[in-house]
Structure 1
Amino acid sequence: MSGARANESGFNPLLMAAMVIVGVVAFIALWALVALGPQLSSGNDGGGHSLSKAAPGFAGLVDLLERSGAHVELRRHVGPGAASGDEPLLILTPTHQTKPNEIEELLNQRGRRALVVLPKWQTVTMPGQAKKPGWVGQGFPVTPDGALLPESQFGKVRIRAPQARAQTVPASVAGRPFAAYLPDNAQTVDGDGIIPLIAGANGGAVLAMAKERDFYVLADPDLIDNFAFASRDRARAAAMLIDAIGEDADTDSVAFDLTLNGFGGGRSLLRFAFVPPFIGITLCLIAAGLLALWQAWVRFGPALKPARAIPISKEALIANSADLVRQARRELDGADAYVANQRLAIARRLHAPAGLDPEATDAWIDRRLKRGSDLFSAIARRLPFARNRHEFLEGAQALHDIRKELLRDG
């Protein structure tokens, strides 16, 4: 009963171990998602980047370029790509909140050729009103500030959205003529540090190039975003525009940057802990923690206190005495005393007549045994002549069984 009560009131080791394991796994998973969440995100959030399938996004252009056999890379990190060979045309899709130094950091790498697609739309997603996941509900054109483009690369520029109707204008980039479809009130850019490549409707340039390096600026994203894929002709013009810019920059591959849109892997110790080469150290620390938990599990419960050298109790006294007899190899010398002890205990409990000698007492005990069982007197005479421990233990056990049978005790 006491053992059952202890189990009911105490901790369940299996339950506690399961709670610890679940907690450790959840803790590691939480920090891994915090560190790698931007890189694992699908990105279909209605924004103006290459993962978005909404109108201001560029997922349609990515899909079209991939289907046409071009090498397309979606970069979630700052620095050279994983592909070997020449640096591809890097397409930057900044937002209205992007800082110029962030764009400058991406552009200031050796051998880089880039196209900066200026933002245009501020979108609002109304909960429950989007027809499909990732679509936007409403969009408002907002002309970005000219300071968005780094002055060190493009000089001082001005971005405008003059009043103009949608129209088709002839364009020629890298000696390749094609038609460019300009939307209503197309954004344009002008400045002393850029060279116009595709003129706008009322001055300025829709597509321009920096004078010093192979950096291009597309003032209006509606020439290549998902909104342009509303018609086959505009989609073909978007693909031709990117292909012409790539040919002018002397590159045959395209890379879309995602770091400016919040989907890159930031430079943090937390992220480094879950990517090579530091993932090995993280796994070693996790293994060390699991070994520590295993050690705690093996020693579950309070620490054991060292026992006394000599316990205090009658049982301890008996155990110590028996140990001394065993060490002295004098077990057989206690046969007469053991027989006398068993005889006296049985006679007292069964109220044997007083004044009987040992032989008479043994005969009195024999008359109370069942027929066919071993006689107490025979075992009592045989036990003192035991030749070894085996015979002694056999006889002592027989006397003990007779005592149990007569007295009904353990």
Structure 2
Amino acid sequence: MSARTASPFGKRGGAVLALAGIVLFVFTLWAAGNQMDQPQQGGAPALRTGGRGFDGYAAFAQFLGKRGYTVDPLQSEAMAGQPGLLVLTPPHDANLQQMERVIALHRANGPVMVILPKWKSSGVVQRVPDGKYKGTVVEQLDAAVPRWLGWHDELAIDLYPLASKSSKGRWAGLGAAGNLPGIEAVQSAQGDGLVPLVTDTETDRVLAGYLDDGDYPALRDAADYDEPESKPYQRTNRFPLVLVFEPDLLNNWGFAKIESGRLAENMVRLTAGRGERRIIMDQMIEGAVAQPPRKGPSLIKQAFTPPFLAATICLILTALVLFWRALHRFGPPLLAARSIAFGKRALIANAAGLIQRARRLHLLGAPYADAARERLARKLALPARLDPAGTETAIDRALLVRAPGSEPFSIIAARLRAARRPADLVSAARQLHALERTLMR
């Protein structure tokens, strides 16, 4: 009979484990549902969500990568202390204190380019007429000037429509010229200490420029820019700060034209300085006011709503059946029997099975014959000084006296030693066993 062992859990312990499993399952559904709620991003960051919209800068980043620059994302303020050109694309509601810290930290190690926001956009769900989900698109809301009180108040930023559509939003600067993609709202700036880099050819308004707060020979000679060859910076106390007031010069909408690519490369070369091939793109500056999360359907509510309700009911019934079966089992579990039993019979059977599987039966003849010879020598009290041949001869003489006409022991033993087939081995072994019984009576 198999032995029994005590159950590791009682009824109370099993109930506690089942209840804990149910609580953890509900908590998992709740946690997974919260992770599915994605925050709604505002603005037009370079590499964040929305960067591929018309007001994003994914095309700008990819273009720089194709031109041999190394484009890294800015993911922490600590990265602002690394060398290279830092490109910031803050939203309208940017955290000005954070942005100012990042700019001040990086200008001690490299130049900074800030592309000011103009377009306000949001993600909306677009559906086809039959009601099926088609996807998320970016809807243009309006153009607005960023109201950043306390951040370079000496600059006056304005938003104006072009006086005539015949100008087509013509801009020029840094050895390039082209047309803006939209002329209904053009963003520019003016103020003391602002040196123009790109201007509106009709109104001479500054669309992009830099602050004249240091010695920047490459940017100073930008008015006579002809070839894309930058000059090294004369290191003063900080590197230049370039401001792009009209984002349509460098965003995805403006990058549909080849002139924007030429302007972007020339501006990056002049701003970064000679030999600098690293660009750090903004992926950190968030809005000062967090956008409310876009709540998705709760997983717990979905679990009890068709068509998932049927699967939830089946899961609950299965859990109840397993719990009932665990509480009403017939005693503790049985111990498994040993794979190898104790005793001489089991040991002999295992050894025989091993020899048979190894196909070494032909090696058993000689040891069996030698063992029979030694047993008969002890039984007949033969002298120990005899060699094996002499012992077998003495056994043959004793057999001739006790059983005249029997086949001699030496002949049967020789036949057993020479046998190779299993049938020959068994036959010779039986004859040798019968001879032993005859001599030992």
TM-score (structure 2 length as normaliser): 0.46
With a CA cutoff of 8 Å and minimum separation of 6, indicate the structure with the bigger relative contact order: 2
